[in-house]
Amino acid sequence: MDATAAAKLLDHYQATARDLPWRRGERDPYRTWLSEVMLQQTTVATVTPRFRRFLERWPTVEALAAAKDEDILGEWAGLGYYARARNLIACARAVAERGSFPETESELRKLPGLGAYTAAAVAAIAFGEDAVPVDTNVERVVARVFGLANRADVPAAAKAWFPTGRHGDFAQALMDLGASLCRPKKPECGRCPLEADCRAAALGKPEAFPAPKVKKERPHRHGVAWWIRRGDEVWLVRRPAEGLLGGMAALPGGEWDEAPAMVNALAIHRHGFTHFTLDLHVVPRVEPPPGEGWWQPLGELDRAGLPTLYRRAVEAALKSEREPRLAD
DNA sequence: TACACGTGGTC
DNA sequence: TGACCAAGTGT
């Protein structure tokens, strides 16, 4: 692939790029890092308002490092993949401790939550290094342009194609193209600046590149969440720091099992995780179980920082209390 | 390498 | 409506 195609893509990007809030702070490693972590496996539409809120509340990495864990986890609630938030906290404190962000890909890579993609993205975008960030968009666009069915062949092809001195812009141009025209399904090759340079388009089968991943079956599980009221309050707990929804606020309850729960539930909320689905049976109970927890006013549930599973389960329970006949 | 790890949007 | 998918990382 020649430099002309790369130049065409950069021109197209310059002409069409959206005014995303983190683009204005591209040379600010804090803003670049924060946006890249939030964008891991999460859409631009979801991230945009959350990024603004984070930046308003914690304008610098020092401010974020000084914040309480529960405040940061609460602000992350609903964004998913909560290990990202736990790593965000650890990373902010490591950076504040050393005084500033490291400025090379290899040093960035050592920080918690910065894997191969994010370290390369921050190095390229914030520090102008010729690092090669390969996310799912870059992978797909490069696989199509070069006609690579095998994803393992993509990084080398990408590295050869990225124009020297423009890696940050080029990565964003590829990601933007992947999100807009070069989509997984029904790509708009007719509007793509790279159509004439694209092997997959020439073959007439852009969707065949890269080869689809093999999908796995999702098991179904059941669990119990206790619904414990005291006046206009409900008993909440904090989940263990590790594992699923680690460190997040929650309704108390036991382990999730594959066996159906034989209990009389106030509500049953079905929730889909990445690797299994869950029927959470919300069951009334009088006394809190042993252990730490707190009474959360029902009028201040938004401030509890509940992940979506529990936010929806609480909504279902409240609805069922209001309209017992309509309860499932 | 393969799996755990959330959620919301799209078709 | 269920499958697919998203600016991936850690183990």
Q: Which nucleotide lies closest to A152 by the C1' atom and the CA atom? A: B1
With vertex at residue A120, the alpha carbon angle to CA A113 and CA A65, rounded to the nearest 5 degrees, is 35
Dist. CA A95–CA A105, nearest whole Å: 15
Protein residues contacting strand B, judged by Cβ under 7 Å: A 41-43, 45-46, 78-83, 152, 185, 216, 243-246, 271-275, 307-309
Report the distance from CA of residue A223 to the C1' of nucleotide B3 in Å, as an integer: 22
Strand partners, A296: A234
Residue A327: is its pLDDT beyond 60? Answer: no
Report the distance from CA of residue A38 to the C1' of nucleotide B5 in Å, as an integer: 15
> Collapsing DSSP states into helix, strand and coil, what is residue A100?
coil
Short-list A254, A251, A266, CA closest to A321:
A266
Short-list A177, A155, A227, A235, CA closest to A9:
A177
Report the distance from CA of residue A43 to the C1' of nucleotide C5 in Å, as an integer: 10
Which domains, from first to last, does chain A contain? 3-126+133-208 (1.10.340.30), 220-326 (3.90.79.10)
Is A36 known to be catalytic? Answer: yes
Residue A262: is its pLDDT beyond 50? Answer: yes
The sheet carrying A220-227 orders its strands as A220-227, A277-284, A267-272
The answer to whether the Cα torsion of A198, A162, A214, A259 is positive or negative is: negative
C-alpha distances (whole Å) from A308 to each of A202, A248, A256, A289 are 44, 11, 17, 23
pLDDT tens column, A4-24:
999 999 999 999 988 999 998
Report the distance from CA of residue A290 to the C1' of nucleotide B10 in Å, as an integer: 44
What does the pLDDT read at residue A328?
A: 46
Q: Which nucleotide lies closest to A81 by the C1' atom and the CA atom? A: B6
Q: Which nucleotide lies closest to A275 by the C1' atom and the CA atom? A: B4
Segment A257-283 shows an average pLDDT of 91
What does the pLDDT read at residue A279?
A: 95
Supply the mean pLDDT for chain A: 95
Segment A246-254 shows an average pLDDT of 97
Look up tokens 């870059």; give the residue: A138
Nucleotides of B under 7 A from a protein CB: 1, 3-9, 11
Average the pLDDT over each of A84-88, A122-126, A183-187, A258-262 and give the range with the smallest value: A258-262
Dist. CA A225–CA A172, nearest whole Å: 43
Prior bond of A297 cis (ω within 30°) = no
Strand partners, A311: none
Catalytic pick among A26, A36, A70, A287: A36
User: Does any strand C atom come closer than 7 Å to the Cβ of A176?
Assistant: yes
Q: Which nucleotide lies closest to A35 by the C1' atom and the CA atom? A: C7
Helix A83-98 to helix A69-76 angle, to the nearest 10 degrees?
A: 130
Segment A255-263 shows an average pLDDT of 83
What does the pLDDT read at residue A1?
A: 64
User: Does any strand C atom come closer than 7 Å to the Cβ of A119?
Assistant: yes
Task: Calculate what percentage of chain A has a pLDDT beyond 90.
Answer: 91
Residue A2: is its pLDDT beyond 90? Answer: no
Is the CB of residue A22 less than 8 Å from the CB of residue A35?
yes
Take residue A15 and report the two structure tokens written for it: 């002409």
Is the CB of residue A235 less than 8 Å from the CB of residue A301?
no
Q: Which residues contact A138 (CB under 8 A, 6 or more apart)?
A: A154, A158, A171, A174, A175, A178
What does the pLDDT read at residue A187?
A: 96
Is the CB of residue A247 less than 8 Å from the CB of residue A69?
yes
